[in-house]
Amino acid sequence: MRIEIDPRSPQPPSEQIQDQFRFAVASGRLVPGDRLPSVRGLAAQALVNPNTVAKAYRELEREGTVETRPGDGVFVAARATQRCEAMRSRTIGDRVTRVVEEAVAAGLSPREVEVVVARALSRTAATAAAALGIAEEVR
């Protein structure tokens, strides 16, 4: 799994790392028992300070998403899936709500917001299909 940090994001890198692992667990790309990359390995791959990765791992462990096995590494915890699914739903819901509120405050009608969201979904589906090499007609 590749972790990517967006330096332009208002979200700190450690939180970006946490969310990407939570979303990977929620989607089934990571399952209980899977080993996470070492702190130094992930720091090198994501181009961040090892302290940033360590901070992310500490928070994930505190919330019960991962468990550290001394001398063995960091692993997805047994009960992480449901917790991560709930966190993903809450996180994405909050983000969508903020964007919709901003659109309404900018003067868009509910119907105009629906059209903007539908277009975004179409573009995203087309991009995902192209990335997978799938030819799919997108309206």
Architecture of domain 13-81: Orthogonal Bundle (1.10)
The amino acid at residue 104 is V
Q: What is the pLDDT of residues 14-67, one digit of tens each?
A: 999 999 999 999 999 999 999 999 999 999 999 999 999 999 999 999 999 999
Q: What is the pLDDT of residues 66-125, one digit of tens each?
A: 999 999 999 999 999 999 999 999 999 999 999 999 999 999 999 999 999 999 888 888
What pLDDT was estimated at residue 135?
A: 42
CB count in 10 Å sphere of residue 72? 8
The H-or-E segment that residue 69 falls in is: strand 66-69
**How far is the C-alpha of 3 from the C-alpha of 9, rounded, in Å?**
14
Q: Kindly list the domain boundaries of the chain, sorted by start residue.
A: 13-81, 92-132
Residue of 9, 93, 23, 13 lying closest to 1 (CA atoms): 23
What pLDDT was estimated at residue 139?
A: 37
In contact, 12 and 55? CB cutoff 8 Å: no
Determine the 3-state secondary structure of 93 from DSSP: helix
Q: How confident is the model at residue 127 (pLDDT cuts 50, 70, 90)?
A: confident
Burial 88-99 (b: 16+ CB within 10 A, else e): beeeeeeeeeee
Helices (H), 6-79: 13-27, 39-46, 50-62
Distances (CA, A) of 15 to 3, 106, 107, 135: 12, 29, 32, 35
